[in-house]
């Protein structure tokens, strides 16, 4: 049976903190602090400067404290920003390990063969190697596979399926499983490094994949209760 986000959430749910600032905004803060500029953070995060500024303003409103002073084109951290960064940094340093561990635990509890939601809602991007593999799996030529199933995507050599759900999904199973594209093998990509700079993509995938949803929910709980005794928000309250 497909395990929807709400149901999956109940399996792994932990008590939410009533006053948690948005996790994504803390990540934006982290990059602004390191870059000392909105433009630098926007470049690192692959988003607009306006989006970064809005996140910063909202975080300052949530925490009721000024985090940066604008000096010419640089942002100078306040004492509160210094303290917030010192509190966040250990968590961010460990983030990939935490995500990988959560991913192992959550994916062991969710049966992909009873879900297939990614194949129904996400278009994988295929390159030349994938086209060869998939066509071999179907017993047709790469040209036939391309004409029958694919259309060009963003860059030369990249393709996506013409239709969604994926036409190779049969009775909720991939009909070319051993020959499936690299992106399909990798999805939901939580085994990869540098989670913090990929967070926007992860949040998008929360709506698709119960594994991602549950890892993200667990991650928020870990953030606010990192270590044995610490509570991150208690640290904030001590600061401000
Ligand atoms: S190729 Fe297979 S794994 Fe990839 S989207 Fe299609 S059905 Fe799913
Ligand atoms: S990877 Fe996620 S969306 Fe895809 S089948 Fe598994 S649980 Fe479902």
For residues 147-163, b (16+ Cβ closer than 10 Å) or e, as one string? Answer: eebbeeeeeeeebbbee
Is there a contact between 161 and 153 (Cβ–Cβ < 8 Å)?
Answer: no
Residue 216 Cα to chain centre, angstroms? 8
Query: What integer is the mean pLDDT of 124-135?
Result: 97
Please tell me the distance between residue 139's alpha carbon and the centre of ligand 2 in angstroms: 26
pLDDT higher than threshold 70 for residue 142: yes
Does any ligand 1 atom lie closer than 6 A to the CB of residue 168?
yes
Question: Of the residues 137, 160, 161, 181, which should be mutated to test ligand 1's pocket, given the most ligand atoms within 8 Å of the CB?
Answer: 181
User: Dihedral, CA atoms, 122, 209, 219, 8, nearest 10 degrees?
Assistant: 170
Does any ligand 1 atom lie closer than 6 A to the CB of residue 8?
no
Query: What integer is the mean pLDDT of 18-25?
Result: 62
| Ligand 1, atom nearest to 122 Cα | 5
Q: How far apart are alpha carbons 162 and 167 in whole angstroms?
A: 9
pLDDT in tens, 146-195: 999 999 998 899 999 999 999 999 999 999 999 999 999 999 999 999 88
pTM of the model: 0.74
pLDDT higher than threshold 80 for residue 9: no
Q: What is the mean pLDDT of the chain?
A: 85
Query: What integer is the mean pLDDT of 102-120?
Result: 94
Residue bearing tokens 């071999």: 136
Tell me which of 137 and 17 has the higher pLDDT: 137
Read off the pLDDT band of 21 (50, 70, 90).
low
How many Cβ atoms are within 10 Å of 229's Cβ, its own excluded? Answer: 7
| Percent of the chain with pLDDT strictly greater than 90 | 64
- Ligand 1, atom 5, residue with closest C-alpha: 119
Domain 5-113+193-239 fold: Arc Repressor Mutant, subunit A (1.10.10)
pLDDT for residue 235:
53
CATH code 1.10.10.10 region(s) in the chain: 5-113+193-239
Residue bearing tokens 């967070």: 199
pLDDT higher than threshold 70 for residue 33: yes
Closest residue by Cα to residue 131 from 157, 153, 170: 157
């Amino acid at each position: 049976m497909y395990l929807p986000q709400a149901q999956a959430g109940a399996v792994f749910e932990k008590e939410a903190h009533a006053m948690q600032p948005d996790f994504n905004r803390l990540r934006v803060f982290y990059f602004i602090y390191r870059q000392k500029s909105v433009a630098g953070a926007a470049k690192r995060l692959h988003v607009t400067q306006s989006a970064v500024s809005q996140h910063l303003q909202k975080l300052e409103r949530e925490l009721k404290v000024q985090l940066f002073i604008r000096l010419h084109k640089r942002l100078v951290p306040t004492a509160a920003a210094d303290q917030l960064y010192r509190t966040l940094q250990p968590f961010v340093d460990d983030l990939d390990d935490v995500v990988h561990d959560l991913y192992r635990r959550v994916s062991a509890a969710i049966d992909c063969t009873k879900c297939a939601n990614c194949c129904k809602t996400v278009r994988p991007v295929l390159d030349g190697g994938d086209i060869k593999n998939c066509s071999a799996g179907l017993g047709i030529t790469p040209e036939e596979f391309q004409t029958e199933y694919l259309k060009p995507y963003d860059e030369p050599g990249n393709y996506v399926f013409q239709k969604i759900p994926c036409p190779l999904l049969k009775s909720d199973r991939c009909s070319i499983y051993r020959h499936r594209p690299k992106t399909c093998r990798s999805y939901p990509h939580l085994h990869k490094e540098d989670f913090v700079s990929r967070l926007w993509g992860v949040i998008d995938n929360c709506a698709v994949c119960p594994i991602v949803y549950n890892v993200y929910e667990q991650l928020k709980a870990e953030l606010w209760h990192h270590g044995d005794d610490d509570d991150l928000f208690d640290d904030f309250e001590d600061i401000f």
